[in-house]
């Protein structure tokens, strides 16, 4: 088990983006094969190499982790975050998620608070790792997939948004019904993708403020009290889908060829 008090940094990015891309399942790789996206990825790879050479520490170890956990055809819910946590050993490559040994970040704490409001207090404290949601069909995707240590939004507007928008559009091409949970203005800007990519199947969009303590209780759409977790499941089940067991305590086994 990792020692939460250790000074060793275990989640720093190393190597190259292209090497990690080659390890992705074919359906996700194909979503990024367009020449303009390959150009963006090459520029991002060069930027990351330059920043590392300058001494910057970059997180997470696996920027594409969200794609490793779930194929596009299995996505039932898309939760859009902004960029990875910028503290050592926090970011996992899944939006809002941190390893279980980390203290619960404030936004995730508010997500658990909202879940308790909707479903009741859990029998035991929820785990901070959200792999259990990802493996059930929740794509936990930040719009920027890397960040520099202690510098939030340091890799925003560097090109990542083109990549992650393309991944969301790939999901929209699947006929399976899905819910977009868009919390905060940054995530809500992704709603325009529905105009650029006509969804192949039914889509429900639920919007509220970001779960950050700065906005979770503020108008016009407070996150606390939004009811989105239950609403998402009720809509998915009305479409014949299973929905997500948000209160599940343990991550289910990864699908063949996924996880790890």
Task: Select which of 83, 100, 121, 165 is catalytic.
Answer: 83
Over the chain (260 residues), the average pLDDT of each successive run of 10 is 63 93 94 97 96 96 96 97 94 97 97 97 94 97 96 95 97 97 94 91 97 94 97 98 94 72
C-alpha span between 246 and 171 (Å, rounded): 21
DSSP 34-86: SHHHHHHHHHHHHHHHHHHHTT--EE-S-TTHHHHH--GGG--EEEEESS---
CA torsion sign for 161, 255, 246, 102 is: negative
pLDDT of residue 253: 82
pLDDT of residue 6: 55
Longest CA span, the chain: 52
Nearest alpha-carbon partner for 65 in 18, 20, 127: 20
Active site residue 3: no
Partner residues linked to 138 by β-bridges: 77
C-alpha span between 11 and 90 (Å, rounded): 8
């Amino acid at each position: 088990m990792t020692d939460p008090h250790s000074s060793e940094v275990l989640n720093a990015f190393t190597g190259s983006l292209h090497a990690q891309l080659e390890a992705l399942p074919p359906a996700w790789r194909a979503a990024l094969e367009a020449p303009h996206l390959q150009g963006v990825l090459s520029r991002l790879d060069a930027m990351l190499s330059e920043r590392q050479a300058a001494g910057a520490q970059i997180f997470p170890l696996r920027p594409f982790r969200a794609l490793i956990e779930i194929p596009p055809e299995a996505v039932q819910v898309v939760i859009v975050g902004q960029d990875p946590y910028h503290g050592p050993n926090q970011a996992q490559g899944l939006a809002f998620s941190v390893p279980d040994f980390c203290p619960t970040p404030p936004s995730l704490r508010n997500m658990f608070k909202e879940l308790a409001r909707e479903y009741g207090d859990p029998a035991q404290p929820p785990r901070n790792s959200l792999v259990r949601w990802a493996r059930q069909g929740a794509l936990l995707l930040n719009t920027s997939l890397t960040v520099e240590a202690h510098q939030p939004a340091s890799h925003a507007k560097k090109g990542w948004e083109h990549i992650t928008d393309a991944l969301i559009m790939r999901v929209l091409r699947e006929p399976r019904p899905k819910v977009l949970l868009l919390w905060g203005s940054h995530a809500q800007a992704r709603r325009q993708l529905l105009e650029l990519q006509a969804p192949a199947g039914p889509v429900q969009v639920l919007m509220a403020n970001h779960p950050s303590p700065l906005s979770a209780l503020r108008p016009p759409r407070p996150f606390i009290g939004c009811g989105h977790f239950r609403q998402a499941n009720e809509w998915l089940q009305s479409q014949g889908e299973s929905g997500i067991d948000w209160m599940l305590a343990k991550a289910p086994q990864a699908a063949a060829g996924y996880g790890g």
